[in-house]
Structure 1
Amino acid sequence: MTTTLRHYKISIDGVVQSFHIAGKGPVCLVHPGGPGFNWNYMRMPLLEQTMTVVYIEPIGTGDSGLLQDGDYSMPRYAYFAHKIAEHIGAEKPCFLGHSHGGFAGIQYALDYPNELGGLILHSSAPCMVPELGMEQTRQIKLYAERWPDRPEAQAACQAWMDLGAGAAQDKESFLELLGRLLPAFFGNYWNLPKEFEEWRDNLDFYLVPRNPHTWDAREVLDAIDVPTLILVGEHDFNCGPRWAAEMDDKMPNSQLHTFEAGGHMSHVESPEEFVKVVSDFVRHVRSA
Structure 2
Amino acid sequence: MVPPLTGPLAEGVHTLVVEGVTLRYHVHGRGPLCVAHPGGPGIEWGYLRAPELEKSLTMVYLEPAGTGGSDRLGVHPDGYTRARHSSHLAALIDHLPVHRVHLLGHSYGGFVAQFHALHRPDQLAGMVLYESAPLTGPEFGEEMMRKVGEFAARHAGRPEVPAVMEAFAAIPAIADDEAMVAAAKGVVPAYVADYWSDVRRWGELREALRATYISGRDEDGEPDLIDDREALGALRLPVLVVAGRHDVVCGVRWAEELHKLVPASRLLILERSGHFGHLEEPELFAREVAGFVLTGNS
TM-score (norm 2): 0.89
The range that moved more, 217-226 or 150-159, is: 150-159
Does residue 1:281 correspond to 2:287, yes or no? Answer: no
**1:8 partner amino acid:** H
Equivalent residues of 2:27, 2:61 under 8 A apart? yes
Question: Which residue matches 2:66?
Answer: 60
Say if 2:35 is the partner of 1:29: yes
CA distance in 1, matches of 2:114, 2:125: 13
1:206-225 to structure 2, matched below 5 A, reads 206-209=212-215, 210-211=217-218, 212-225=223-236
Are the equivalent residues in 2 in contact too, given 1:46–1:272 (CA < 8 A)? yes
User: Deviation at 1:206?
Assistant: 0.7
The equivalent position to 1:115 in structure 2, one of 98, 120, 123, is: 123
Aligned partner of 1:86 in structure 2 is 94
Point out where structure 2 has 5 or more consecutive residues left out of the alignment: 5-9
Matched, 1:101 2:112: no
Aligned residue for 1:202?
Answer: 208
CA contact (8 A) 1:157 1:184 kept: no
Tell me the residue number matched to 1:239: 250
Decide which moves more: 128-137 or 24-33: 128-137
Alpha-carbon distance change, 258 to 242 in structure 1, aligned in 2, over 3 angstroms? same
1:114–1:226 CA contact under 8 A, matched in 2: no
Q: Which moved more, 1:60-69 or 1:178-187?
A: 60-69
Task: Determine the structure 1 residue equivalent to 2:176.
Answer: 170
Q: What is the DSSP-based 3-state SS (H/G/I as helix, E as strand, rest coil) of the residue aligned with 1:239?
A: coil
1:182 equivalent in structure 2: 188
Which segment is superposed worse, 188-197 or 213-222? 188-197
CA distance in 2, matches of 1:233, 1:105: 19
Report the counterpart of residue 20 of structure 2 in structure 1: 14
Do the aligned partners of residues 200 and 112 (structure 1) sit closer, same or farther apart at CA in structure 2, a change above 3 Å counting? same
RMSD: 2.0
Work out the CA distance in 2 between the residues paired with 1:98 and 1:24.
Answer: 21
Structure 1 residues 14 and 129, CA gap change in structure 2 (3 angstroms): same
Q: Corresponding residue for 1:248?
A: 259
Q: Which amino acid aligns with 1:135?
A: E
Distance 1:175 1:10 in 2: 27
Could you tell me how far 1:193 is from its partner in structure 2?
9.1
What is the match of residue 132 of structure 1?
A: 140
Indicate if the aligned counterparts of 2:278 and 2:286 stay in contact, CA closer than 8 A.
Answer: yes
**Which sections of structure 1, spanning at least 5 residues, go unmatched?**
none
1:274 deviates by 0.9
Percent of counterpart pairs with the same letter? 36
Q: How many pairs does the alignment contain? A: 283
Query: How far is 1:94 from its partner?
Result: 0.6
Deviations 1:153-175 (A, max 9, x none): 343123212223x1x34322332
Question: What is the alpha-carbon distance in structure 2 between the residues aligned to residue 206 and residue 96 of structure 1?
Answer: 21
**Counterpart AA for 1:173:** A
Residue identity matched to 2:110? G
Counterpart contact for 1:74–1:215, Cα < 8 Å: no
Question: Deviation per CA, 1:94-123, whole angstroms, max 9, x where unpaired?
Answer: 111100000011011101123211100111
Contact 1:32 / 1:39 at 8 angstroms: preserved in 2?
yes
Q: For 1:197 and 1:162, how far apart are their aligned partners in 2?
A: 20
